Every structure is written in structure tokens, then in C-alpha cells.
Amino acid sequence: MIRKMEISDADEVYNIENQAFFEPWSKKNLIKDLKSNSFLNHYVAEVDGKVVGFYISSHVMDEAEIFTIAVDRDFQKKGIATSLLNHLVETSLSKNIKEIWLEVSTKNTAAINLYKKFGFEVMGIRKNYYQKIGADAYNMKKEL
């Protein structure tokens, strides 16, 4: 089940974020954005009442951007990320979004392959996007 994120999900989301990324959002910023940033959309995926994945995106005018998407490592390769992306695309279509943008590490082959499966195309490279580890990112776009 995919539903809107609630403040009570912050601990589980923060734990998943820390598993998945070398530069995770702080729990303080997550809660602040959830409470007050009306441009961001926060959703979680639940399995048997447990938060197992989430995404945060924005919708501005006719464009969406994926800021982060992650799945608990114990639930990876079970279709959770696919479900989250399907939800994001469906939500975007219902809001007349024309394009979805994202950045992904050039080293994250699994994510790149998933995005390509969804029709995202590499539009360019952002050099040293992940400065702490000196990694580049692909800038990817999907037209709806």
C-alpha cells in the first residue's frame, strides 16, 4: 500500500534513508519539510503495517522532480521501487505533469536500470554532484 507520509513515519523513513544514501536527509529536515513545504510530496510504501520504502518529489507547474526514493534493504528486489515509481507517474499524470526529472549516481546501476525501464533518458551528467564522495550524477528525464 502506498500512502501519504505522516510525521509518525519519520523514524522508519530516516532509517531507510540512512541505509540507502551516503548523504541522507536529516530527520529534522525531513520533519520540517513534511510539515511546511507545500511544494514537496511525501509518500511511503507499507507492507504489513511497516514502512518499507518512500519517495519525496515536487510538482511545480508542469514538471515533477524526484528528490529521493529508497527501499529498505530487506525489501529490495520485491517490486517496491517499481510500485513507488508507478504511483509517482500516476500522480503526475493526474496533475497534468509533462516531465519528471531526477539525478542519480552514475555508479547506481540498479537505479539507472529501473529508471530506464520506466522510460527515463539520460539528458546529461552533473560532474561531482555528490561532492563528499566525488561522484558524478546523471540528470534524467521522462516525458509523460
Return the active site residues. Answer: 103, 115
C-alpha grid cell, residue 46: 507499507
| Cα distances (angstroms) measured from residue 104 to each of 32, 49, 93, 108, 130 | 24, 29, 22, 7, 10
Cβ-Cβ contacts under 8 Å for 122 (sequence gap 6 or more): 138, 139, 140
